[in-house]
């Protein structure tokens, strides 16, 4: 069965905007918007199915992660009721809004249209899907009313690694072209190196620097954010790493060195690199004068990070310790 034929279901939900907590809140977002339950990218390392009910999933979702999806059928109607102008929205922590099933379902178009009708203070899309280019018209409209950013995930420069770990995602070149197109259209876009898969780090960082003009964000958001509920990388990714000879990429100390090396390369190019909430707080930074609903102390704690390299180092160690614990 091809990706296009995977079952797509619909179900109404009670609410569409969720007040943030943990990592995303610390980064500065007040709400998250998740347009579907289950993600047909089905990445081998995805943390979401390991969250179970904490990720708003039902058992078939985590048992058959990536094999079907259920769109929230009343999302646009709910948005019209729930949107407020001080909200800072992250879309999405639990699925990729431009997952393969979105090509057929086109859920994001009415969602973006509803958001443009009642624009929040900030709307950030986290994706790895070049399909986002389909909605350039709506993104441009939205960008006239509010701050819109795209955080585009780049995971590896090695095509065979991509095929092993995330076979349904686009190759790096396609993602870089999508980033460039978004920029040409005046949409602010960040490269997010997360999760970092086995790569030639120098080449991957260079590609990210070339494609974007913003600071570079890294670190696997997904693992640390939900750590307290025991969410972590799926076992499939550990098995692949073992079989393909990439075990060191799951080693905490190696991760620390990698992240520090990325910070060094990025800073040498005159830009900043950070991981964890500090990196993601750049996505949530509002232009001067715009008002969001996250209180000043949350924002200050994030902004007073320890600086790119040291923060990256700390985050990598935390990330590494999670991976390490699961690995043993
Ligand atoms: S890692 Fe992201 S894109 Fe991949 S399956 Fe999980 S939610 Fe979807």
Q: What is the pLDDT of residue 325?
A: 27
Q: What is the mean pLDDT of residues 264-274?
A: 97
CA 65 to ligand 1: nearest atom: 5
Q: How many angstroms is it from 113 CA to the middle of ligand 1?
A: 24
Higher pLDDT, 319 or 75: 75
The answer to whether 85 touches 121, Cβ cutoff 8 Å, is yes
Q: What is the pLDDT of residue 42?
A: 96
Helix then strand then coil, in percent of the chain rounded to 5, is 50, 15, 35
Whether 28 is in the pocket of ligand 1, judged by its Cβ within 6 Å, is no
What DSSP designation does 89 have? Answer: E
The Cα-based distances of 62 to 38, 169, 307, 319 in angstroms read 8, 19, 37, 22
The answer to whether 274 touches 235, Cβ cutoff 8 Å, is no
Q: How many angstroms is it from 43 CA to the middle of ligand 1?
A: 5
Q: Whose CA is nearest to atom 6 of ligand 1?
A: 46
Whether 39 is in the pocket of ligand 1, judged by its Cβ within 6 Å, is yes
CA distance 275 to 6: 34
Tell me phi and psi for residue 324, to 5 degrees: -60, -40
Tokens matching residue 249: 């990429």
Q: How many angstroms is it from 259 CA to the middle of ligand 1?
A: 22
Encode pLDDT of 44-100 as tens digits: 999 888 888 877 889 999 889 999 999 999 999 999 999 999 999 999 999 999 999
Whether 96 is in the pocket of ligand 1, judged by its Cβ within 6 Å, is yes
Contacts of residue 29, Cβ cutoff 8 Å, sequence gap at least 6 = 20, 88, 89, 90, 122, 124, 284, 294
User: How far is residue 158 CA from its own chain's centroid?
Assistant: 20
C-alpha closest to that of 16 among 103, 141, 111, 145: 111
Q: What is the pLDDT of residue 231?
A: 65
Identify the weakest region by mean pLDDT among 20-34, 122-136, 230-244, 283-297. 283-297
Contacts of residue 263, Cβ cutoff 8 Å, sequence gap at least 6 = 273, 274, 308, 309, 312, 313
Identify the weakest region by mean pLDDT among 128-137, 286-295, 313-322. 313-322
Edge-to-edge strand ranges of the sheet holding 8-11: 8-11, 69-72, 36-37
Encode pLDDT of 17-41 as tens digits: 999 988 899 999 999 999 999 999 9
The Cα-based distances of 285 to 97, 114, 147, 288 in angstroms read 21, 23, 9, 9
Radius of gyration of the chain (CA): 18
Higher pLDDT, 116 or 5: 116
The answer to whether 247 touches 237, Cβ cutoff 8 Å, is no
CA 45 to ligand 1: nearest atom: 1
Q: Whose CA is nearest to atom 4 of ligand 1?
A: 43
């Amino acid at each position: 069965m091809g990706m296009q034929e995977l079952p797509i279901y619909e179900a109404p939900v009670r609410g569409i905007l969720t007040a943030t907590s943990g990592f995303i809140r610390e980064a500065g977002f007040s709400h998250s918007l998740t347009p579907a339950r289950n993600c047909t990218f089905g990445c081998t390392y995805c943390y979401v199915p390991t969250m179970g009910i904490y990720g708003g999933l039902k058992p078939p979702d985590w048992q058959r992660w990536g094999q079907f999806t259920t769109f929230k059928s009343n999302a646009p109607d709910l948005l019209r009721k729930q949107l407020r102008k001080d909200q800072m929205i992250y879309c999405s922590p639990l699925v990729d809004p431009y997952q393969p099933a979105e090509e057929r379902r086109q859920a994001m178009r009415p969602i973006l249209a509803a958001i443009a009708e009642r624009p929040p203070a900030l709307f950030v899309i986290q994706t790895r899907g070049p399909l986002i280019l389909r909605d350039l018209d709506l993104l441009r409209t939205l960008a006239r009313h509010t701050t819109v950013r795209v955080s585009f995930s780049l995971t590896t420069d090695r095509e065979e690694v991509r095929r092993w770990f995330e076979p349904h995602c686009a190759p790096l070149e396609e993602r870089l072209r999508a980033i460039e197109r978004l920029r040409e259209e005046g949409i602010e876009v960040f490269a997010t190196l997360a999760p970092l898969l086995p790569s030639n780090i120098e080449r991957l960082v260079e590609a990210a620097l070339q494609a974007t003009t913003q600071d570079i964000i890294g670190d696997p958001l997904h693992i640390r954010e939900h750590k307290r509920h025991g969410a972590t990388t799926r076992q499939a990714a550990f098995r692949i790493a073992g079989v393909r000879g990439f075990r060191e990429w799951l080693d905490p100390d190696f991760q620390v060195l990698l992240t520090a090396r990325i910070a060094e390369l990025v800073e040498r190019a005159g830009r900043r690199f950070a991981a964890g909430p500090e990196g993601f707080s750049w996505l949530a930074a509002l232009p001067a004068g715009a008002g969001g609903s996250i209180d000043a102390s949350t924002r200050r704690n994030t902004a007073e990070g320890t600086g790119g390299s040291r923060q990256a180092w700390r985050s990598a160690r935390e990330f590494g310790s999670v991976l390490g614990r699961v690995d043993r």
